[in-house]
Structure 1
Amino acid sequence: MKESVLRLACEGTPLVGILAEPSDGAAAEVGLLIIVGGPQYRAGSHRQFTLLARHLAANGFAALRFDYRGMGDSPGEARDFLGVEADIAAAISALLAARPTLKRVALWGLCDAASAALLYLESTRDDRVAGVALLNPWVRSAATLAQTHVKHYYWRRLRERGFWLKLLKGGVGGAALRGLASNLRLARGAGHKTDSRSFQDRMAAGLRGFGGPTLLVLSGDDYTASEFASCAAASPAWAGLLKRPALDLHEIPTADHTFSALPDHDAQCRICLDWLRTRCLAKYT
């Protein structure tokens, strides 16, 4: 594989990207745009975006990772995942212009970058997007976080003998019970929001309006993934979306949020590569 700097412009601001591609230039007809979750720059935690892009390039796919405005080597005002639609559009345009043999682009995002990808689809309906890969999507609110704590922390603590011993001795158990009560009150509000323009509902609308292949990868050791699963199960906006034939769901039980262990990182790379080959390229082969 080979890498080169790809300079692009977003609303007059120059952005910096790194394009990885096969060394012989014979890339597949679908490229991958790695959207960065924040606040991070194009390398990612423990270089995971760099390693993913190089892995895909070595196996025949062009992959672009880039810095948003205000992040890494790109100047401009810093922004969060709710304000990067123009950056994503500019990166798609730059990738297709730099490699005219590409027909379309798949989007890949971890955490709030996955959320940004769905928000981009909701607002643009960009027909240049061939597929979307979502890893541990971010849907956090006070209510969903409380739900997750109740389900995955407090019930486990209540089953532990040590917790009750501390409670009887006047230790931290009392504070934990008060925390449980507070989280239960917040959790009751999850799934009952009526604001159809909340970013979580907009994410669901983006997925519902997208007819292409979708990859969803969830880590087994990650609160963000647990929150997403709870939100998708409880919210009417997400009803049926994770059971659509176009969606491939993979769970990696040992993985943390960023797939930091090498076997988990390698697993998600293999899953992504297989999805690109069997799903995103199907239209062109």
Structure 2
Amino acid sequence: MRELIAFPCVGDTLVGTLDAAEGGTGLLIVSGGNEIRIGAHRGMALLAADIAAVGHPVFRFDRRGIGDSTGANRGFEASGDDIAAAVAAFRRAAPGVTRVVAFGNCDAASALALHGVGGIDAFVLANPWVIETADALPPAAAIRARYAERLRDPKAWLRLVTGGVNMGKLAQGLSKVSKAPAEEPAGLAGRLAAGMAARAEPIMILLAKRDNTAVAFNEAWQASAFDPLRGRLTIAERDTGSHSFHTAEDKAWLREQLLRAMAP
């Protein structure tokens, strides 16, 4: 059964959707970017129905300023109150839930890592967003990975010698990747490392191996700031370039990982 629920958040009203089920472990889905709770191509709504069908209640919501919720959109870095309000609303609406697993993709994963929200018992963070760049190019780690792939492709060499490559873009990319990576992740990546290290709850990281956001996270992960997390969390990779795990096979894999995280 699917139920629409309105609940308060710092003077505003958020709207969420509960897919009810009898299980004691529930899934809280936090939307990334400015995406509404239904998800791209109804992806989050379909995922919620699938998880609820095997016995786990699922709660999705629109943060302030998004979709059906009131207020100003302050972005993922200011969404701690929204997540906390959603956890409380979920537990009120599904009193049989004794354990909440929170799932977010991209900057929703980063939001979950950054904010010390209570009432969450485990985290599944997919393709955490660590990119801070002022230009239109992909992150340096993704450019390096793409160049390495192309250097193994004879057709790429043919395009280069026949003028089929944009030399301006190539020069920009080479300039970006030539800069040595910092010893420690600065800014957002460093804050994510600190946020995750401060948590005692289980954390699972899911990565779409060929996605630019995942590639950037993987590079940040090599820094010593993440050392306290090594051995404490689980990382699972899917050999896909789909950031949102949108193919049928990717969706099945994502569902499997979520159910694994929700298992007793």
Normalising by structure 2, report the TM-score: 0.90
Counterpart-to-counterpart distance in 1, 2:245 and 2:165: 32
In the alignment, structure 2 segments of 5+ residues that lack a partner are: none
Alpha-carbon offset, residue 147 of structure 1? 2.3
When residues 159 and 5 of structure 1 are mapped into structure 2, their CA distance, relative to the original with a 3 A threshold, is: same
Query: Does residue 1:134 correspond to 2:130, yes or no?
Result: no
Query: Does residue 1:188 correspond to 2:180, yes or no?
Result: yes
Within a 5 Å distance, the mapping from 1:104-183 to structure 2 comes to 104-121=99-116, 124=117, 126=118, 128-142=119-133, 145-169=138-162, 172=165, 174-183=167-176
Name the residue aligned to 2:226: 238
Counterpart-to-counterpart distance in 1, 2:184 and 2:114: 21
When residues 211 and 64 of structure 1 are mapped into structure 2, their CA distance, relative to the original with a 3 A threshold, is: same
The 8 Å contact of residues 100 and 120 in structure 2, kept in 1 or not, is answered as yes
The 8 Å contact of residues 142 and 215 in structure 2, kept in 1 or not, is answered as no
Name the residue aligned to 1:268: 254
Name the residue aligned to 1:204: 193
Query: Does residue 1:251 correspond to 2:244, yes or no?
Result: no
Alpha-carbon offset, residue 159 of structure 1? 4.0
Residue by residue over 1:97-133, the C-alpha shift from the partner in whole angstroms, topping out at 9 and shown as x without a partner, is 2222222322110111000000113xx5x2x210001
Counterpart-to-counterpart distance in 2, 1:46 and 1:170: 38
Within a 5 Å distance, the mapping from 1:65-80 to structure 2 comes to 65-80=60-75
Counterpart-to-counterpart distance in 2, 1:192 and 1:179: 24
* Secondary structure of 1:15's aligned partner: strand
Query: Does residue 1:27 correspond to 2:23, yes or no?
Result: yes
**Structure ranking higher in helix proportion:** 1
Counterpart-to-counterpart distance in 2, 1:263 and 1:167: 35
* Secondary structure of 2:97's aligned partner: coil
Tell which deviates more after alignment, 147-156 or 208-217. Answer: 147-156
Counterpart-to-counterpart distance in 2, 1:151 and 1:76: 41
Name the residue aligned to 2:202: 213
* Secondary structure of 1:134's aligned partner: strand
The 8 Å contact of residues 147 and 190 in structure 1, kept in 2 or not, is answered as no
Please tell me the residue identity of whatever aligns with 2:133.
A
The 8 Å contact of residues 131 and 212 in structure 1, kept in 2 or not, is answered as yes
When residues 177 and 73 of structure 1 are mapped into structure 2, their CA distance, relative to the original with a 3 A threshold, is: closer
* Superposition RMSD in Å: 2.2
Alpha-carbon offset, residue 274 of structure 1? 2.1
Counterpart-to-counterpart distance in 1, 2:4 and 2:163: 61
Alpha-carbon offset, residue 166 of structure 1? 4.5
When residues 44 and 173 of structure 1 are mapped into structure 2, their CA distance, relative to the original with a 3 A threshold, is: closer
When residues 75 and 154 of structure 1 are mapped into structure 2, their CA distance, relative to the original with a 3 A threshold, is: same
* Secondary structure of 1:263's aligned partner: helix
* Percent pairwise identity: 34
Please tell me the residue identity of whatever aligns with 1:253.
D
Counterpart-to-counterpart distance in 1, 2:184 and 2:260: 37
* Secondary structure of 1:239's aligned partner: helix
Tell which deviates more after alignment, 50-59 or 87-96. Answer: 50-59
Name the residue aligned to 2:15: 16
Number of matched pairs: 262
The 8 Å contact of residues 114 and 136 in structure 1, kept in 2 or not, is answered as yes
Name the residue aligned to 1:226: 215
Query: Does residue 1:59 correspond to 2:54, yes or no?
Result: yes
Counterpart-to-counterpart distance in 1, 2:158 and 2:44: 46
Residue by residue over 1:212-256, the C-alpha shift from the partner in whole angstroms, topping out at 9 and shown as x without a partner, is 2112111123111111111111x2221252x324x2222111351
Normalising by structure 1, report the TM-score: 0.84
Tell which deviates more after alignment, 3-12 or 95-104. Answer: 95-104
The 8 Å contact of residues 21 and 58 in structure 1, kept in 2 or not, is answered as no
